[in-house]
Structure 1
Amino acid sequence: MHKKKVLLVLLLVAIGSIFYYLYILKLEREQLESVSSTTSLIKTVFEAKVIPHLGALGRPARGNWTAKQLEAMAQSKRETGYNAWLSERISPERTLYDMRHRSCKKLNYPAKKLPPVSVVITYHNEQTSVLLRTLSSLKSRTPLLLLREIILVDDGSSSVDPKFNDILQIKFQDLVKHHRLEKQVGLMQARVTGAEFAQSDVLVFLDSHVEVTQGWLEPLLAPILENNKTCTTPIIDTIDYENLAYRRGKPSRGFFDWEFNYIQLPLLKEEMVAMPTPHQNPIMNGGLFAIGRQWFFELGGYDKGLKIWGAEQFELSLKLWLCGGRILEVPCSRIGHLYREGSFKVHYTDKAKSSEDKLISRNYRRVAEVWLEEYKDKLFANMPHLTVIQAGNLAEQRELKKRLQCKPFKWFLDNLAKDFLQIYPLKDPDDYAFGTLQSISSPNLCLDRTETKPSRPQLSTCSSDPTFPSKPEQQWVLSNRRELRSGFRCLEVRNKSMDVHVYQCHRQKGNQFWSLDTKTHQIVFGQMANARRCLEALTEENGLTMRDCDPNQPKQRWKFGYENNERMKHFWDNVNIV
Structure 2
Amino acid sequence: RCRNLTFPDRLPEVSIVFIFVNEALSVILRSIRSAIDRTPAHLLKEIILVDDNSNNEELKDKLKKYVDEVNARKPGFIKVVRHSKQEGLIRSRVSGWRVATAPVVALFDAHVEFNVGWAEPVLTRIKENRKRVISPSFDNIKYDNFEIEEYPLSAQGFDWELWCRYLNPPKSWWKLENTTAPIRSPALIGCFIVDREYFQEIGLLDEGMEVYGGENVELGIRVWQCGGSVEVLPCSRIAHIERAHKPYTEDLTAHVRRNALRVAEVWMDEFKSHVYMAWNIPQEDSGIDIGDISERKALRKKLQCKTFRWYLVSVYPEMRMYSDTVAYGVLQNSLKSDLCLDQGPDTENIPIMYICHGMTPQV
Fold agreement, TM-score > 0.5: yes
CA contact (8 A) 1:256 1:283 kept: yes
Q: 2:205 aligns with which of 296, 302, 305?
A: 302
Deviation at 1:113, TM superposition (A): 1.1
**Inter-partner Cα distance in structure 1 for 2:295 and 2:28:** 35
- Which has the larger Rg? 1
Instruction: Assess, with a 3 A threshold, how the Cα gap between structure 1 residues 469 and 276 changes in structure 2: closer, same or farther.
Output: farther
TM-score of the aligned structures, taking structure 1 as reference length: 0.55
Deviation at 1:348, TM superposition (A): 1.1
Give the letter for the 1:376 counterpart. K
**Inter-partner Cα distance in structure 2 for 1:486 and 1:166:** 57
1:156 aligned partner:
53
**Inter-partner Cα distance in structure 1 for 2:178 and 2:325:** 35
Q: 1:314 aligns with which of 217, 228, 237?
A: 217
Instruction: Assess, with a 3 A threshold, how the Cα gap between structure 1 residues 235 and 304 changes in structure 2: closer, same or farther.
Output: same
1:460 aligned partner:
none
Q: 1:476 aligns with which of 338, 342, 350?
A: 342
Deviation at 1:163, TM superposition (A): 2.4
Q: Percent identity?
A: 34
Q: 1:233 aligns with which of 128, 135, 155?
A: 135
1:109 aligned partner:
7
Instruction: Assess, with a 3 A threshold, how the Cα gap between structure 1 residues 479 and 185 changes in structure 2: closer, same or farther.
Output: closer
Deviation at 1:170, TM superposition (A): 2.3
1:416 aligned partner:
315
Residues 1:365 and 2:261 aligned together: yes
CA contact (8 A) 1:435 1:467 kept: no
Secondary structure of 2:165 counterpart: strand
Instruction: Assess, with a 3 A threshold, how the Cα gap between structure 1 residues 239 and 479 changes in structure 2: closer, same or farther.
Output: closer
Deviation at 1:370, TM superposition (A): 0.4
Q: 1:267 aligns with which of 150, 169, 173?
A: 169
Deviation at 1:389, TM superposition (A): 0.8
Give the letter for the 1:361 counterpart. R
Secondary structure of 1:389 counterpart: coil
Give the letter for the 1:476 counterpart. D
Q: Which has the higher contact order (CA 8 A, sep 6+)?
A: 2
Instruction: Assess, with a 3 A threshold, how the Cα gap between structure 1 residues 293 and 468 changes in structure 2: closer, same or farther.
Output: farther
CA offset digits 1:348-377 (Å, max 9, x no partner): 16xxx78x6443322111111001111011
Residues 1:276 and 2:172 aligned together: no
Give the letter for the 2:54 counterpart. S
Give the letter for the 1:104 counterpart. C
**Inter-partner Cα distance in structure 2 for 1:156 and 1:131:** 15
**Inter-partner Cα distance in structure 2 for 1:337 and 1:480:** 27
Give the letter for the 2:200 counterpart. F
Secondary structure of 1:233 counterpart: strand
Structure 1: runs of 5+ lacking an equivalent: 1-102, 437-464, 488-504, 506-561, 563-578
TM-score of the aligned structures, taking structure 2 as reference length: 0.86
CA contact (8 A) 2:161 2:257 kept: no
Give the letter for the 1:253 counterpart. A
Deviation at 1:158, TM superposition (A): 1.9
What's the Cα RMSD here?
2.8
Residues 1:390 and 2:289 aligned together: yes
1:403 aligned partner:
302
Instruction: Assess, with a 3 A threshold, how the Cα gap between structure 1 residues 429 and 357 changes in structure 2: closer, same or farther.
Output: closer
Give the letter for the 1:300 counterpart. G
Give the letter for the 1:152 counterpart. L
CA contact (8 A) 1:324 1:406 kept: yes
Instruction: Assess, with a 3 A threshold, how the Cα gap between structure 1 residues 389 and 485 changes in structure 2: closer, same or farther.
Output: farther
Instruction: Assess, with a 3 A threshold, how the Cα gap between structure 1 residues 121 and 139 changes in structure 2: closer, same or farther.
Output: same
Deviation at 1:282, TM superposition (A): 0.6
Give the letter for the 2:32 counterpart. L
